[in-house]
Amino acid sequence: MSGNLTKASETSRRPPGWGRAAAAVFFLAPGLTALIVLAIVPMILMLTYMFFPRGRFGGVVYEFTLENFARLNDPLYLGVIGDSLVIAGLVTLIALLIGYPTAYAIAQLPPRWKTIALVAIMLPFWTNFLIRIYAWIVLLSGPGLVNDALTGLGLVDEPLELLYNEGTIVLGLVYGYLSLMILPIYSAVEKLDPRLREASANLGASPFRTFLSVTLPLTLPSALIGAVLVFVPSFGNYVVPELLGGGKAIMVGNMIRDQFLKARDWPFGATLALVMIVFTFVLLIAQAVASRRVRNA
């Protein structure tokens, strides 16, 4: 009797694991193949260059060395890496400070205005990133629109030096990646059940307290995702520092590019690339840990 029962309950279990595994392989295969062939293999090949000295005209000489890592210690390179971290961090912070209230405000709009606001945020993506950065040059250059306006209004006597410094880079990066901060936060605020805020108020919480105790914790994971989405491309960016930094101020991205294309030092370029990847990974892990913390606060 009891044997029968056991049997019956076993047959009613869900299908054995290999069925689901087969399904997983089937659906994941195309994406995984593309990822492995196009991204992971080249990356591993490139990273192996770190352990060899440079070839004379690019490429490498196959003799094992750790020389490239020792060179990282150079204050010149460390300085650029440090600057890049500071710039990317600043960009992320500013994007968060602008992006959160913007996303929050959009989520409160009536449906039609919501759509309009979202389209307005996406619209710049329809134009090439380079062109939009050049547009900033036109705006900010010595005889540019902003300076014309300032001198025209008599606010300044001489055109200001607006271009080609760290501030301009930060401006360009914030401009370029702000929407990556706004969109995830917007979707989190939008999904938030308005009854939760009402319940909080009903239990005696002021609007600010409600924001701190309910809205913020429930949207913070998305804000962290936005932060990573902004930080990573800002940290590795080389277009914006090149154009708006005018080559005076450079970031890791420019340095890596220079090692590969100008100095023809592939191994050291690969080493610098590794540094970036490591930072990115640390960041992703920190983000995952932080959002789990928040969720289980």
Partner 1 sequence: MTLLSIEGVSRKFGDVVALSDVTLDIKAGEFFALLGPSGCGKTTLLRILAGFEWPDRGNVRLDGADLLRQPPHRRPVNLMFQSYALFPHMTVAKNVAYGLEREGLPRAEIKTRVGEVLEKVGLDTMAGRRPAQLSGGQQQRVALARAIVKRPRMLLLDEPLSALDKKVRAEMQLELKRLQHEVGITFVVVTHDQEEAMSLADRIAVMDNGLIEQVDAPIALYDRPRTRFVADFIGANNLFTGTVTAGGFEVPGLGPLPCKTDLPNGIAVLAVRPERVRLGDPGRGAADGTVVDVSFFGGISHIAVDVPGHDRKVLVATQGSARIAPGAAVGLFWNPDDAVLVPA
Q: Is 30 in the site for partner 1 (CB under 8 A)?
A: no
- The span of 3-11, 57-65, 156-164, 203-211 binding partner 1 (CB under 8 A) equals 203-211
Residue in 15, 17, 30, 204 binding partner 1, rule: CB under 8 A: 204
Under 8 Å between Cβ of 252 and 28: no
Residue 95 and residue 223 in contact, taking contact as beta carbons nearer than 8 Å:
no
Q: Does 297 bind partner 1 (CB under 8 A)?
A: yes
CA distance 68 to 47: 12
Q: Rule CB under 8 A: choose which of 41, 61, 199, 285 binds partner 1.
A: 199
CB under 8 A: which stretch of 84-92, 108-116, 151-159, 206-214 binds partner 1?
Answer: 206-214
- Please enumerate in sequence order all residues whose Cβ is within 8 A of that of 58, keeping only pairs 6 or more positions apart, or say none: 264, 266
Closer CB to partner 1, 280 or 287, in the complex = 287
Query: Does 112 interact with partner 1 (rule: CB under 8 A)?
Result: no
Q: Which stretch binds partner 1 (CB under 8 A): 27-35, 98-106, 200-208, 284-292?
A: 200-208
> Which of 7, 248, 292, 295 forms a contact with partner 1 (CB under 8 A)?
295
Q: Which of 125, 217, 247, 284 binds partner 1 (CB under 8 A)?
A: 217
DSSP code at position 213: I
Q: How far apart are CA 70 and CA 73, in angstroms?
A: 6
Residues paired with residue 60 on neighbouring β-strands, in sequence order: 54
Nearest distance in Å: CB 25, partner 1: 31
Q: How far is the CB of 212 from partner 1 (least distance, A)?
A: 12
Residue 218, interface with partner 1 (CB under 8 A)?
yes
58 — alpha (psi -120 to 50), left (phi > 0) or beta? Answer: left
Note whether 290 binds partner 1 by CB under 8 A: no
Interface with partner 1 (CB under 8 A), residue total 23
Binding mask 177-196 for partner 1 (x = CB under 8 A): ----------------x-xx
Q: Which of 230, 277, 229 is nearest to 253 (CA)?
A: 277
The one among 7, 209, 248, 292 contacting partner 1 by CB under 8 A? 209
147 burial (CB, 10 Å; 0-12 / 13-18 / 19+) is buried
Nearer to partner 1, 42 or 207 (CB): 207
Cβ atoms of residues 279 and 85 within 8 Å:
yes
Report d(CA 232, CA 88) in Å as an integer. Answer: 8
Check residue 207 for interaction with partner 1 (CB under 8 A).
Answer: yes
Q: Which residues pair with 58 in a beta bridge?
A: 56
Does the footprint of partner 1 cover residue 200 (CB under 8 A)?
yes
Q: Which stretch binds partner 1 (CB under 8 A): 6-14, 82-90, 183-191, 208-216?
A: 208-216
Alpha helices in the chain (DSSP H): 2-11, 17-35, 41-48, 67-72, 75-108, 111-122, 129-140, 145-152, 166-191, 194-202, 207-210, 216-235, 239-244, 252-257, 266-295
Residues forming contacts to partner 1 in the complex (CB under 8 A) are 193, 195-196, 198-207, 209-210, 213-214, 217-218, 294-297
